[in-house]
Structure 1
Amino acid sequence: MKRSNAVIGLLAQTSIHAGSGQNTGVIDLAIQREGHNGWPCIFGSAVKGAVRTRAEDQGVDSIQSVFGAESDGNDMQAGAVAFSDARILLFPVRSLTSQFKWVACPAALKRYKNDALRMGLEISLDIPAVETWTNELAIAHESEGSAGSVSLFLEEYCFKTEQKDLNQTIAALSVLMPPEDAENLARQLVIVSDDMFSYLVQHATPVNAHIGIETETKTVKSGALWYEETLPPETLLYFTLSADKARQRESTLQAECMRANVIALFTGEQGPWLQLGGNETVGMGWCAVKINPINTGVDHANNAAE
Protein backbone atom coordinates (compact mmCIF):
# COMPACT_ATOMS: atom_id res chain seq x y z
CA MET A 1 0.00 0.00 0.00
CA LYS A 2 1.50 3.30 -1.10
CA ARG A 3 1.10 6.17 1.33
CA SER A 4 2.04 9.82 1.23
CA ASN A 5 3.46 11.16 4.48
CA ALA A 6 4.46 14.36 6.21
CA VAL A 7 6.04 15.52 9.48
CA ILE A 8 4.53 18.76 10.76
CA GLY A 9 5.92 21.05 13.45
CA LEU A 10 3.79 23.03 15.91
CA LEU A 11 5.46 25.93 17.71
CA ALA A 12 3.20 27.33 20.41
CA GLN A 13 2.55 31.06 20.05
CA THR A 14 0.26 31.26 23.09
CA SER A 15 -0.37 28.98 26.05
CA ILE A 16 -2.04 25.66 25.17
CA HIS A 17 -4.53 23.80 27.33
CA ALA A 18 -5.31 20.42 25.82
CA GLY A 19 -7.15 19.07 28.85
CA SER A 20 -6.97 15.52 30.15
CA GLY A 21 -10.48 15.67 31.65
CA GLN A 22 -9.29 14.79 35.14
CA ASN A 23 -7.54 16.42 38.05
CA THR A 24 -4.16 15.51 39.50
CA GLY A 25 -3.75 16.54 43.11
CA VAL A 26 -4.09 20.30 43.47
CA ILE A 27 -4.41 20.81 39.67
CA ASP A 28 -8.08 20.74 38.74
CA LEU A 29 -7.58 20.90 34.97
CA ALA A 30 -4.42 19.05 33.96
CA ILE A 31 -3.00 18.83 30.45
CA GLN A 32 -2.75 15.66 28.38
CA ARG A 33 0.32 13.54 29.03
CA GLU A 34 1.78 10.28 27.86
CA GLY A 35 1.01 7.54 30.33
CA HIS A 36 4.42 5.86 30.54
CA ASN A 37 6.70 8.89 30.95
CA GLY A 38 4.52 11.86 31.93
CA TRP A 39 5.61 13.96 28.95
CA PRO A 40 3.04 16.50 27.70
CA CYS A 41 1.34 15.67 24.42
CA ILE A 42 -1.81 16.45 22.44
CA PHE A 43 -3.74 13.36 21.49
CA GLY A 44 -4.18 12.58 17.82
CA SER A 45 -7.95 12.88 18.08
CA ALA A 46 -7.55 16.49 19.26
CA VAL A 47 -5.09 17.26 16.46
CA LYS A 48 -7.38 15.72 13.85
CA GLY A 49 -10.38 17.61 15.23
CA ALA A 50 -8.55 20.95 15.13
CA VAL A 51 -7.36 20.37 11.55
CA ARG A 52 -10.87 19.31 10.51
CA THR A 53 -12.34 22.47 12.04
CA ARG A 54 -9.88 24.55 10.02
CA ALA A 55 -10.87 22.67 6.87
CA GLU A 56 -14.55 23.31 7.57
CA ASP A 57 -13.86 27.00 8.17
CA GLN A 58 -12.16 27.18 4.77
CA GLY A 59 -15.00 25.36 3.03
CA VAL A 60 -12.89 22.47 1.74
CA ASP A 61 -14.88 20.12 -0.51
CA SER A 62 -13.07 16.87 0.33
CA ILE A 63 -13.60 16.92 4.11
CA GLN A 64 -15.29 13.51 4.30
CA SER A 65 -12.67 11.91 2.07
CA VAL A 66 -9.81 13.27 4.19
CA PHE A 67 -11.25 13.09 7.72
CA GLY A 68 -14.11 10.61 7.43
CA ALA A 69 -17.86 10.98 7.81
CA GLU A 70 -19.44 12.50 10.92
CA SER A 71 -20.02 9.87 13.61
CA ASP A 72 -23.71 10.74 13.91
CA GLY A 73 -24.39 10.29 10.19
CA ASN A 74 -25.56 7.27 8.22
CA ASP A 75 -22.44 7.08 6.05
CA MET A 76 -19.83 5.52 8.35
CA GLN A 77 -16.71 6.04 6.25
CA ALA A 78 -13.20 6.28 7.68
CA GLY A 79 -10.95 9.10 6.57
CA ALA A 80 -7.95 8.60 4.33
CA VAL A 81 -5.48 10.54 6.51
CA ALA A 82 -4.11 9.27 9.83
CA PHE A 83 -2.94 11.79 12.43
CA SER A 84 -0.52 10.91 15.22
CA ASP A 85 -0.32 12.47 18.67
CA ALA A 86 1.52 15.78 18.82
CA ARG A 87 4.71 14.89 20.68
CA ILE A 88 6.96 17.26 22.58
CA LEU A 89 10.42 17.94 21.22
CA LEU A 90 11.60 21.24 22.75
CA PHE A 91 10.39 22.60 26.08
CA PRO A 92 11.03 26.26 27.03
CA VAL A 93 12.54 26.66 30.49
CA ARG A 94 13.30 29.95 32.21
CA SER A 95 16.97 30.62 32.79
CA LEU A 96 19.01 33.16 34.72
CA THR A 97 21.59 33.22 31.95
CA SER A 98 19.31 34.14 29.02
CA GLN A 99 15.73 34.90 28.06
CA PHE A 100 14.91 31.18 28.17
CA LYS A 101 16.37 27.91 26.94
CA TRP A 102 14.86 25.35 24.61
CA VAL A 103 15.46 22.07 26.42
CA ALA A 104 15.60 18.70 24.68
CA CYS A 105 16.85 15.26 25.70
CA PRO A 106 18.35 12.26 23.87
CA ALA A 107 15.12 10.21 24.15
CA ALA A 108 12.98 12.94 22.56
CA LEU A 109 15.51 13.48 19.76
CA LYS A 110 15.76 9.74 19.08
CA ARG A 111 11.98 9.43 18.93
CA TYR A 112 11.74 12.31 16.46
CA LYS A 113 14.40 10.66 14.30
CA ASN A 114 12.54 7.33 14.37
CA ASP A 115 9.20 8.98 13.57
CA ALA A 116 10.74 10.79 10.61
CA LEU A 117 12.30 7.55 9.39
CA ARG A 118 8.92 5.81 9.63
CA MET A 119 7.50 8.57 7.44
CA GLY A 120 10.21 7.95 4.85
CA LEU A 121 12.60 10.76 5.81
CA GLU A 122 16.08 9.87 6.96
CA ILE A 123 17.54 12.83 8.83
CA SER A 124 21.03 13.55 10.09
CA LEU A 125 20.73 14.09 13.81
CA ASP A 126 23.53 13.94 16.35
CA ILE A 127 22.22 12.64 19.67
CA PRO A 128 24.82 13.33 22.37
CA ALA A 129 24.99 11.08 25.39
CA VAL A 130 24.02 12.80 28.64
CA GLU A 131 24.41 11.02 31.96
CA THR A 132 21.77 10.90 34.66
CA TRP A 133 20.46 14.23 35.85
CA THR A 134 22.18 14.03 39.23
CA ASN A 135 25.44 14.88 37.43
CA GLU A 136 23.95 18.27 36.52
CA LEU A 137 25.43 18.27 33.03
CA ALA A 138 23.93 19.94 29.96
CA ILE A 139 25.07 20.02 26.33
CA ALA A 140 25.04 23.39 24.58
CA HIS A 141 26.04 24.40 21.06
CA GLU A 142 29.62 25.58 20.81
CA SER A 143 29.94 29.31 20.18
CA GLU A 144 32.69 31.87 19.90
CA GLY A 145 34.15 33.01 23.19
CA SER A 146 32.60 30.21 25.25
CA ALA A 147 35.54 27.89 25.71
CA GLY A 148 35.42 25.50 28.63
CA SER A 149 32.56 24.77 31.00
CA VAL A 150 30.26 27.56 32.10
CA SER A 151 27.39 27.57 34.57
CA LEU A 152 23.84 27.38 33.29
CA PHE A 153 20.75 27.90 35.43
CA LEU A 154 17.48 26.21 34.48
CA GLU A 155 14.72 26.92 36.99
CA GLU A 156 16.44 26.42 40.35
CA TYR A 157 19.09 24.00 39.06
CA CYS A 158 22.66 24.84 38.16
CA PHE A 159 24.34 22.87 35.36
CA LYS A 160 27.83 22.62 34.04
CA THR A 161 27.67 22.97 30.29
CA GLU A 162 29.71 21.02 27.79
CA GLN A 163 30.17 22.73 24.44
CA LYS A 164 29.59 20.51 21.39
CA ASP A 165 28.94 20.92 17.69
CA LEU A 166 25.15 20.58 17.39
CA ASN A 167 24.83 21.91 13.84
CA GLN A 168 23.17 18.73 12.56
CA THR A 169 20.70 18.70 15.42
CA ILE A 170 19.89 22.38 14.95
CA ALA A 171 19.33 21.86 11.22
CA ALA A 172 17.04 18.89 11.87
CA LEU A 173 14.94 20.86 14.38
CA SER A 174 14.86 24.06 12.33
CA VAL A 175 12.59 22.51 9.69
CA LEU A 176 9.85 22.26 12.32
CA MET A 177 9.66 25.96 13.20
CA PRO A 178 9.39 29.31 11.42
CA PRO A 179 12.73 30.69 10.15
CA GLU A 180 12.67 33.67 12.51
CA ASP A 181 12.45 31.34 15.51
CA ALA A 182 14.93 28.82 14.11
CA GLU A 183 17.55 31.57 14.04
CA ASN A 184 17.67 31.46 17.86
CA LEU A 185 18.17 27.71 18.16
CA ALA A 186 21.97 27.80 18.22
CA ARG A 187 21.90 30.25 21.12
CA GLN A 188 19.05 28.70 23.10
CA LEU A 189 19.22 24.94 22.54
CA VAL A 190 20.28 22.87 25.54
CA ILE A 191 20.26 19.08 25.80
CA VAL A 192 19.82 17.56 29.25
CA SER A 193 19.46 13.98 30.41
CA ASP A 194 16.23 12.05 29.91
CA ASP A 195 15.58 12.06 33.66
CA MET A 196 16.01 15.81 34.02
CA PHE A 197 13.87 16.45 30.94
CA SER A 198 11.09 14.33 32.44
CA TYR A 199 11.34 16.27 35.69
CA LEU A 200 11.17 19.65 33.94
CA VAL A 201 8.20 18.85 31.70
CA GLN A 202 6.28 17.53 34.72
CA HIS A 203 7.13 20.25 37.23
CA ALA A 204 7.93 23.40 35.21
CA THR A 205 4.63 23.75 33.34
CA PRO A 206 2.61 26.87 34.27
CA VAL A 207 -0.32 26.36 36.66
CA ASN A 208 -2.70 29.32 36.84
CA ALA A 209 -5.47 30.06 39.31
CA HIS A 210 -8.88 30.98 37.87
CA ILE A 211 -11.90 32.44 39.61
CA GLY A 212 -15.51 33.07 38.73
CA ILE A 213 -16.98 36.55 39.22
CA GLU A 214 -20.56 37.43 40.14
CA THR A 215 -21.88 39.58 37.30
CA GLU A 216 -23.86 41.97 39.47
CA THR A 217 -21.60 42.37 42.48
CA LYS A 218 -18.27 41.90 40.69
CA THR A 219 -17.10 39.73 43.57
CA VAL A 220 -15.77 36.18 43.56
CA LYS A 221 -18.39 33.46 43.35
CA SER A 222 -18.44 31.16 46.34
CA GLY A 223 -16.30 28.10 45.62
CA ALA A 224 -15.47 29.25 42.08
CA LEU A 225 -11.71 28.73 42.25
CA TRP A 226 -9.78 26.25 40.13
CA TYR A 227 -6.23 25.66 38.99
CA GLU A 228 -5.44 25.07 35.32
CA GLU A 229 -2.24 23.69 33.81
CA THR A 230 -0.97 24.80 30.40
CA LEU A 231 1.87 24.25 27.98
CA PRO A 232 3.87 27.51 27.74
CA PRO A 233 4.41 29.53 24.58
CA GLU A 234 7.52 28.52 22.59
CA THR A 235 6.90 24.80 23.20
CA LEU A 236 7.80 22.82 20.07
CA LEU A 237 5.71 19.77 19.23
CA TYR A 238 5.37 17.74 16.06
CA PHE A 239 2.94 15.23 14.60
CA THR A 240 2.94 12.95 11.61
CA LEU A 241 0.24 12.36 9.03
CA SER A 242 -0.01 9.42 6.70
CA ALA A 243 -2.41 9.54 3.76
CA ASP A 244 -3.94 6.70 1.75
CA LYS A 245 -6.08 6.99 -1.33
CA ALA A 246 -9.70 8.00 -0.75
CA ARG A 247 -11.78 5.15 0.68
CA GLN A 248 -14.99 5.86 -1.26
CA ARG A 249 -15.41 3.27 -3.97
CA GLU A 250 -16.29 5.84 -6.62
CA SER A 251 -13.38 8.17 -5.77
CA THR A 252 -10.15 8.27 -7.78
CA LEU A 253 -8.27 10.59 -5.39
CA GLN A 254 -4.83 9.18 -4.60
CA ALA A 255 -2.77 9.37 -1.42
CA GLU A 256 -0.69 12.35 -2.58
CA CYS A 257 -3.88 14.31 -3.22
CA MET A 258 -5.18 13.50 0.27
CA ARG A 259 -1.92 14.69 1.81
CA ALA A 260 -1.88 17.83 -0.33
CA ASN A 261 -5.41 18.71 0.83
CA VAL A 262 -4.21 18.84 4.44
CA ILE A 263 -1.02 20.76 3.70
CA ALA A 264 -2.95 23.30 1.61
CA LEU A 265 -4.86 24.31 4.76
CA PHE A 266 -1.70 26.01 6.06
CA THR A 267 -0.32 27.51 2.86
CA GLY A 268 -3.27 29.66 1.82
CA GLU A 269 -4.42 33.16 2.68
CA GLN A 270 -5.24 32.29 6.31
CA GLY A 271 -1.59 31.55 7.00
CA PRO A 272 0.26 28.74 8.77
CA TRP A 273 -1.72 28.78 12.01
CA LEU A 274 -3.66 26.17 13.97
CA GLN A 275 -5.61 26.55 17.22
CA LEU A 276 -5.54 23.54 19.54
CA GLY A 277 -7.09 22.69 22.87
CA GLY A 278 -9.52 24.64 25.02
CA ASN A 279 -10.05 28.29 25.97
CA GLU A 280 -9.91 29.38 22.33
CA THR A 281 -12.18 32.38 23.07
CA VAL A 282 -9.44 33.87 25.26
CA GLY A 283 -6.75 33.37 22.63
CA MET A 284 -5.15 30.17 23.86
CA GLY A 285 -3.92 27.30 21.73
CA TRP A 286 -2.40 29.13 18.76
CA CYS A 287 0.50 27.37 17.04
CA ALA A 288 2.69 28.21 14.08
CA VAL A 289 2.55 25.30 11.64
CA LYS A 290 5.67 24.33 9.69
CA ILE A 291 5.59 21.53 7.14
CA ASN A 292 8.81 19.54 7.07
CA PRO A 293 9.95 19.61 3.41
CA ILE A 294 9.20 15.93 2.91
CA ASN A 295 7.51 14.77 -0.26
CA THR A 296 7.50 11.02 -0.21
CA GLY A 297 5.29 8.14 -1.10
CA VAL A 298 6.26 5.15 1.00
CA ASP A 299 5.33 1.69 -0.20
CA HIS A 300 4.85 -0.08 3.15
CA ALA A 301 4.21 -3.45 1.55
CA ASN A 302 7.55 -3.35 -0.26
CA ASN A 303 9.34 -2.11 2.85
CA ALA A 304 7.94 -5.00 4.87
CA ALA A 305 9.05 -7.48 2.21
CA GLU A 306 12.57 -6.13 2.28
Structure 2
Amino acid sequence: MGGVLLLQAVTPLHAGVGRSEAAHVDLLVQRDEFGLPAIWASSLKGALKSHAKMKKDPLVHCVFGRDAVGQAPEGISGVTLFDARLLLIPARSLRGVWIYVTTPHMLRAFIVYLESLVPLGVEGAKTLLDVAKKALDISRDAPVVSSQSYLWDGSLVINELAIKQAKVNGDLAKFTEQLAKHLSLPKTDLAVVGDDIAKTLVDRSMLIQYRVRLTERKTVAEGALWSEEYLPQFSVLHSAVVCRAAKCREGNEERQLKAEEVCVKFRELAAGGGRGYVWVGGKETIGRGLVEVALV
Protein backbone atom coordinates (compact mmCIF):
# COMPACT_ATOMS: atom_id res chain seq x y z
CA MET A 1 0.00 0.00 0.00
CA GLY A 2 1.12 3.54 -0.68
CA GLY A 3 0.52 6.65 -2.73
CA VAL A 4 1.97 9.39 -4.88
CA LEU A 5 2.58 12.56 -2.89
CA LEU A 6 2.41 15.73 -5.00
CA LEU A 7 3.49 19.09 -3.58
CA GLN A 8 3.06 22.63 -4.86
CA ALA A 9 4.76 25.64 -3.26
CA VAL A 10 1.97 28.10 -2.50
CA THR A 11 4.57 30.55 -1.17
CA PRO A 12 8.35 30.54 -1.76
CA LEU A 13 9.89 27.50 -0.07
CA HIS A 14 13.12 27.21 1.91
CA ALA A 15 13.98 23.69 3.02
CA GLY A 16 17.53 24.56 3.92
CA VAL A 17 20.89 22.97 4.61
CA GLY A 18 22.27 25.64 6.93
CA ARG A 19 24.89 28.28 6.33
CA SER A 20 27.39 27.85 3.50
CA GLU A 21 30.65 29.77 3.42
CA ALA A 22 31.69 28.79 -0.09
CA ALA A 23 28.47 29.39 -2.03
CA HIS A 24 27.11 32.58 -3.58
CA VAL A 25 24.13 32.36 -1.19
CA ASP A 26 24.51 32.12 2.58
CA LEU A 27 21.50 29.87 3.21
CA LEU A 28 20.98 27.33 0.43
CA VAL A 29 18.04 25.01 -0.17
CA GLN A 30 18.42 21.24 -0.15
CA ARG A 31 19.41 19.60 -3.42
CA ASP A 32 19.51 16.11 -4.84
CA GLU A 33 22.58 14.32 -6.13
CA PHE A 34 22.28 16.12 -9.47
CA GLY A 35 22.18 19.60 -7.98
CA LEU A 36 18.44 20.15 -8.46
CA PRO A 37 16.31 21.54 -5.59
CA ALA A 38 14.70 18.87 -3.42
CA ILE A 39 13.18 18.26 -0.01
CA TRP A 40 14.93 15.42 1.74
CA ALA A 41 12.67 12.72 3.13
CA SER A 42 13.70 13.49 6.72
CA SER A 43 12.65 17.14 6.35
CA LEU A 44 9.41 16.25 4.59
CA LYS A 45 8.46 13.61 7.14
CA GLY A 46 9.24 15.99 10.00
CA ALA A 47 6.99 18.69 8.53
CA LEU A 48 4.12 16.25 7.94
CA LYS A 49 4.51 14.76 11.42
CA SER A 50 4.42 18.21 13.05
CA HIS A 51 1.28 19.02 11.07
CA ALA A 52 -0.35 15.71 12.05
CA LYS A 53 0.47 16.09 15.75
CA MET A 54 -1.53 19.33 15.90
CA LYS A 55 -4.67 17.23 15.38
CA LYS A 56 -4.09 15.49 18.72
CA ASP A 57 -4.92 12.07 17.29
CA PRO A 58 -3.63 9.29 19.59
CA LEU A 59 -2.77 7.15 16.56
CA VAL A 60 -0.31 9.66 15.12
CA HIS A 61 2.56 7.59 16.53
CA CYS A 62 1.32 4.53 14.64
CA VAL A 63 1.80 6.46 11.42
CA PHE A 64 4.94 8.51 12.08
CA GLY A 65 6.62 6.69 14.96
CA ARG A 66 7.56 8.08 18.34
CA ASP A 67 10.01 10.96 18.79
CA ALA A 68 12.40 8.73 20.75
CA VAL A 69 12.16 5.24 19.31
CA GLY A 70 14.68 3.33 21.43
CA GLN A 71 14.22 -0.40 20.99
CA ALA A 72 10.43 -0.48 21.28
CA PRO A 73 8.82 -2.09 18.21
CA GLU A 74 5.70 0.02 18.74
CA GLY A 75 7.78 3.17 18.18
CA ILE A 76 8.65 2.45 14.55
CA SER A 77 7.00 4.53 11.83
CA GLY A 78 4.29 2.91 9.73
CA VAL A 79 5.14 4.97 6.64
CA THR A 80 8.19 5.35 4.45
CA LEU A 81 8.60 8.65 2.61
CA PHE A 82 10.81 9.24 -0.43
CA ASP A 83 12.80 12.40 -1.11
CA ALA A 84 10.64 15.03 -2.81
CA ARG A 85 12.18 15.78 -6.20
CA LEU A 86 11.57 18.71 -8.52
CA LEU A 87 9.05 18.05 -11.30
CA LEU A 88 7.99 21.49 -12.59
CA ILE A 89 9.46 24.93 -11.98
CA PRO A 90 8.11 28.30 -13.14
CA ALA A 91 10.35 30.19 -15.55
CA ARG A 92 10.05 33.79 -16.71
CA SER A 93 8.89 33.98 -20.31
CA LEU A 94 9.19 36.80 -22.82
CA ARG A 95 5.69 35.83 -23.92
CA GLY A 96 2.99 34.92 -21.41
CA VAL A 97 4.86 36.18 -18.30
CA TRP A 98 5.85 32.70 -17.11
CA ILE A 99 5.54 29.03 -18.00
CA TYR A 100 6.13 25.70 -16.28
CA VAL A 101 9.39 24.03 -17.29
CA THR A 102 10.57 20.45 -16.92
CA THR A 103 13.22 18.24 -18.51
CA PRO A 104 13.48 14.61 -19.64
CA HIS A 105 15.57 13.89 -16.54
CA MET A 106 12.87 15.23 -14.20
CA LEU A 107 10.20 13.24 -16.02
CA ARG A 108 12.25 10.04 -15.80
CA ALA A 109 12.73 10.54 -12.05
CA PHE A 110 8.95 10.89 -11.69
CA ILE A 111 8.41 7.74 -13.75
CA VAL A 112 10.83 5.76 -11.54
CA TYR A 113 8.81 6.67 -8.44
CA LEU A 114 5.52 5.82 -10.16
CA GLU A 115 6.78 2.46 -11.41
CA SER A 116 7.72 1.51 -7.84
CA LEU A 117 4.16 2.24 -6.67
CA VAL A 118 2.17 0.48 -9.41
CA PRO A 119 2.96 -3.05 -8.06
CA LEU A 120 1.60 -1.90 -4.68
CA GLY A 121 -1.81 -1.37 -6.24
CA VAL A 122 -1.75 2.44 -6.26
CA GLU A 123 -4.37 3.21 -8.91
CA GLY A 124 -3.49 6.88 -9.18
CA ALA A 125 0.09 5.96 -10.04
CA LYS A 126 -1.03 4.09 -13.17
CA THR A 127 -2.83 7.11 -14.63
CA LEU A 128 0.04 9.47 -13.84
CA LEU A 129 2.52 6.95 -15.24
CA ASP A 130 0.72 6.85 -18.59
CA VAL A 131 0.69 10.64 -19.05
CA ALA A 132 4.27 10.97 -17.77
CA LYS A 133 5.52 8.43 -20.31
CA LYS A 134 3.67 10.24 -23.11
CA ALA A 135 5.22 13.55 -22.03
CA LEU A 136 8.66 11.92 -21.98
CA ASP A 137 8.08 10.53 -25.47
CA ILE A 138 7.09 14.00 -26.72
CA SER A 139 10.15 15.50 -25.02
CA ARG A 140 12.49 13.44 -27.17
CA ASP A 141 12.06 16.33 -29.60
CA ALA A 142 13.02 18.85 -26.90
CA PRO A 143 12.83 21.76 -26.84
CA VAL A 144 9.06 21.54 -27.11
CA VAL A 145 6.28 23.78 -25.80
CA SER A 146 2.57 23.17 -25.40
CA SER A 147 1.42 26.45 -26.98
CA GLN A 148 2.52 28.59 -29.91
CA SER A 149 1.74 31.72 -27.87
CA TYR A 150 5.01 31.39 -25.93
CA LEU A 151 7.24 31.58 -29.01
CA TRP A 152 8.93 34.79 -30.09
CA ASP A 153 10.10 34.68 -33.69
CA GLY A 154 10.36 30.89 -33.47
CA SER A 155 12.32 30.90 -30.20
CA LEU A 156 11.28 30.10 -26.67
CA VAL A 157 12.74 32.86 -24.50
CA ILE A 158 12.66 31.81 -20.83
CA ASN A 159 14.76 33.04 -17.93
CA GLU A 160 16.61 35.30 -20.39
CA LEU A 161 17.73 32.31 -22.47
CA ALA A 162 16.71 32.11 -26.13
CA ILE A 163 15.99 28.49 -27.03
CA LYS A 164 15.80 28.27 -30.79
CA GLN A 165 13.78 25.93 -32.99
CA ALA A 166 11.34 25.01 -30.25
CA LYS A 167 8.58 22.73 -31.49
CA VAL A 168 4.92 23.03 -30.53
CA ASN A 169 2.88 20.04 -29.34
CA GLY A 170 -0.46 20.67 -27.65
CA ASP A 171 -0.54 17.11 -26.26
CA LEU A 172 2.21 18.11 -23.84
CA ALA A 173 -0.33 20.00 -21.74
CA LYS A 174 -2.18 16.73 -21.01
CA PHE A 175 0.52 15.97 -18.46
CA THR A 176 0.01 19.18 -16.48
CA GLU A 177 -3.76 18.90 -16.91
CA GLN A 178 -3.61 15.53 -15.15
CA LEU A 179 -1.55 17.05 -12.33
CA ALA A 180 -4.08 19.89 -12.11
CA LYS A 181 -6.73 17.34 -11.14
CA HIS A 182 -4.86 16.93 -7.86
CA LEU A 183 -3.17 20.31 -7.32
CA SER A 184 -4.45 23.87 -7.77
CA LEU A 185 -2.06 24.70 -10.60
CA PRO A 186 -2.49 28.30 -11.81
CA LYS A 187 -1.80 27.25 -15.42
CA THR A 188 -1.10 24.11 -17.43
CA ASP A 189 1.18 25.48 -20.14
CA LEU A 190 4.41 23.51 -20.21
CA ALA A 191 7.81 23.57 -21.88
CA VAL A 192 10.32 20.73 -21.93
CA VAL A 193 13.94 21.76 -22.41
CA GLY A 194 17.07 19.69 -22.82
CA ASP A 195 18.87 18.25 -19.81
CA ASP A 196 22.03 20.10 -20.80
CA ILE A 197 20.55 23.48 -19.82
CA ALA A 198 18.33 22.25 -16.98
CA LYS A 199 20.66 23.30 -14.14
CA THR A 200 21.14 26.78 -15.61
CA LEU A 201 17.41 27.31 -16.10
CA VAL A 202 16.53 26.06 -12.63
CA ASP A 203 19.18 28.21 -10.96
CA ARG A 204 17.83 31.28 -12.78
CA SER A 205 14.34 30.51 -11.49
CA MET A 206 15.46 30.33 -7.87
CA LEU A 207 14.55 33.30 -5.69
CA ILE A 208 17.42 34.96 -3.80
CA GLN A 209 16.35 37.26 -0.98
CA TYR A 210 18.68 39.49 1.02
CA ARG A 211 17.91 39.99 4.70
CA VAL A 212 19.18 42.39 7.36
CA ARG A 213 18.74 42.61 11.11
CA LEU A 214 18.21 46.12 12.43
CA THR A 215 19.25 47.64 15.73
CA GLU A 216 16.86 49.66 17.89
CA ARG A 217 18.12 52.72 16.00
CA LYS A 218 17.01 51.17 12.71
CA THR A 219 20.54 50.66 11.45
CA VAL A 220 21.96 47.36 10.23
CA ALA A 221 23.52 45.37 13.05
CA GLU A 222 27.16 44.47 12.54
CA GLY A 223 27.50 41.29 10.48
CA ALA A 224 23.72 40.98 10.17
CA LEU A 225 23.42 40.92 6.38
CA TRP A 226 22.75 37.58 4.74
CA SER A 227 21.06 35.99 1.74
CA GLU A 228 18.52 33.17 1.50
CA GLU A 229 17.60 30.90 -1.41
CA TYR A 230 14.00 29.91 -2.11
CA LEU A 231 12.22 27.57 -4.47
CA PRO A 232 9.76 29.88 -6.26
CA GLN A 233 6.02 29.98 -5.79
CA PHE A 234 4.06 27.41 -7.85
CA SER A 235 7.00 24.96 -8.07
CA VAL A 236 5.83 21.32 -8.13
CA LEU A 237 7.65 18.42 -6.49
CA HIS A 238 6.83 14.75 -6.16
CA SER A 239 7.41 12.14 -3.49
CA ALA A 240 6.01 8.73 -2.64
CA VAL A 241 4.59 7.07 0.46
CA VAL A 242 4.76 3.36 1.28
CA CYS A 243 2.70 2.05 4.21
CA ARG A 244 3.23 -1.05 6.33
CA ALA A 245 1.60 -2.61 9.38
CA ALA A 246 2.47 -0.83 12.62
CA LYS A 247 2.16 -1.29 16.37
CA CYS A 248 1.47 1.55 18.78
CA ARG A 249 -0.10 2.30 22.12
CA GLU A 250 -3.35 4.19 22.56
CA GLY A 251 -3.31 4.93 26.29
CA ASN A 252 -2.74 1.59 28.01
CA GLU A 253 -4.02 -0.35 25.04
CA GLU A 254 -1.73 -1.70 22.33
CA ARG A 255 -3.00 -1.21 18.79
CA GLN A 256 -2.05 -3.10 15.65
CA LEU A 257 -2.83 -1.29 12.39
CA LYS A 258 -2.78 -2.98 9.00
CA ALA A 259 -0.91 -1.32 6.14
CA GLU A 260 -4.21 -0.19 4.62
CA GLU A 261 -5.25 1.43 7.91
CA VAL A 262 -1.90 3.22 8.19
CA CYS A 263 -2.39 4.68 4.70
CA VAL A 264 -5.92 5.82 5.55
CA LYS A 265 -4.67 7.48 8.73
CA PHE A 266 -1.76 9.13 6.90
CA ARG A 267 -4.18 10.54 4.34
CA GLU A 268 -6.38 11.90 7.13
CA LEU A 269 -3.64 13.37 9.32
CA ALA A 270 -1.00 14.57 6.86
CA ALA A 271 -2.82 15.21 3.60
CA GLY A 272 -6.14 16.67 4.71
CA GLY A 273 -8.07 13.61 3.62
CA GLY A 274 -6.24 13.55 0.28
CA ARG A 275 -5.55 17.23 -0.32
CA GLY A 276 -4.48 19.90 2.14
CA TYR A 277 -1.86 22.44 3.18
CA VAL A 278 1.20 22.12 5.42
CA TRP A 279 4.18 24.25 6.36
CA VAL A 280 7.51 22.89 5.12
CA GLY A 281 10.97 24.27 5.81
CA GLY A 282 11.96 27.48 7.53
CA LYS A 283 10.81 31.12 7.67
CA GLU A 284 7.22 30.16 8.46
CA THR A 285 6.60 33.37 10.44
CA ILE A 286 7.25 35.48 7.34
CA GLY A 287 4.94 33.40 5.19
CA ARG A 288 7.46 31.09 3.59
CA GLY A 289 6.94 27.37 3.07
CA LEU A 290 3.18 27.00 2.68
CA VAL A 291 2.79 23.88 0.55
CA GLU A 292 -0.26 22.27 -1.01
CA VAL A 293 -0.07 18.48 -0.70
CA ALA A 294 -2.11 15.87 -2.52
CA LEU A 295 -1.98 12.12 -1.92
CA VAL A 296 -2.95 10.25 -5.08
Band of TM-score, shorter chain: 0.7 to 0.9
Q: CA RMSD in A?
A: 2.5
The corresponding residue for 1:211 is 212
The corresponding residue for 1:139 is 144
The corresponding residue for 1:221 is 221
Shift in alpha-carbon separation, 1:157–1:146, aligned structure 2, 3 A: closer
CA contact (8 A) 1:149 1:163 kept: no
Counterpart among 123, 137, 158 of residue 162 in structure 2: 158
1:180-203 CA distances to partner (integer Å, 9 max, x unpaired)? x26x21xx2111011212222234
Residue correspondence of structure 1 range 266-285 to structure 2 within 5 A: 266-267=271-272, 272-285=276-289
- SS of 1:201's equivalent in the other structure is helix
The corresponding residue for 1:191 is 192
Amino acid at match of 1:233: Q
Shift in alpha-carbon separation, 1:248–1:58, aligned structure 2, 3 A: closer
Provide the rounded CA distance (Å) in 1 between the counterparts of 2:197 and 2:238: 21
Taking structure 2 as the reference length, the TM-score comes to 0.85
Report the structure, 1 or 2, having the larger strand content: 2
The corresponding residue for 2:104 is 106
Counterpart among 40, 52, 55 of residue 55 in structure 1: 52
Q: Which runs of 5+ in 2 are unaligned?
A: 119-124
Residue correspondence of structure 1 range 227-246 to structure 2 within 5 A: 227-246=227-246
Provide the rounded CA distance (Å) in 2 between the counterparts of 1:146 and 1:98: 6
Amino acid at match of 1:207: I
The corresponding residue for 2:31 is 33
- SS of 1:8's equivalent in the other structure is strand
Q: Deviation at 1:247? A: 3.6
Amino acid at match of 2:100: W
The corresponding residue for 2:121 is none
- SS of 2:268's equivalent in the other structure is helix
- SS of 1:111's equivalent in the other structure is helix
CA contact (8 A) 2:80 2:243 kept: yes
Amino acid at match of 1:42: I
Taking structure 1 as the reference length, the TM-score comes to 0.82
Residue correspondence of structure 1 range 58-137 to structure 2 within 5 A: 58-71=55-68, 75=72, 77-120=75-118, 121-122=125-126, 123-124=129-130, 125=132, 126=134, 127=136, 128-130=138-140
CA contact (8 A) 1:103 1:197 kept: no
The corresponding residue for 1:296 is none
Q: Deviation at 1:237? A: 0.7
Amino acid at match of 1:119: L
The corresponding residue for 1:299 is none
Q: Deviation at 1:163? A: 0.9
Q: Which runs of 5+ in 1 are unaligned?
A: 132-136, 293-306
Amino acid at match of 1:221: A
Q: Deviation at 1:204? A: 3.0
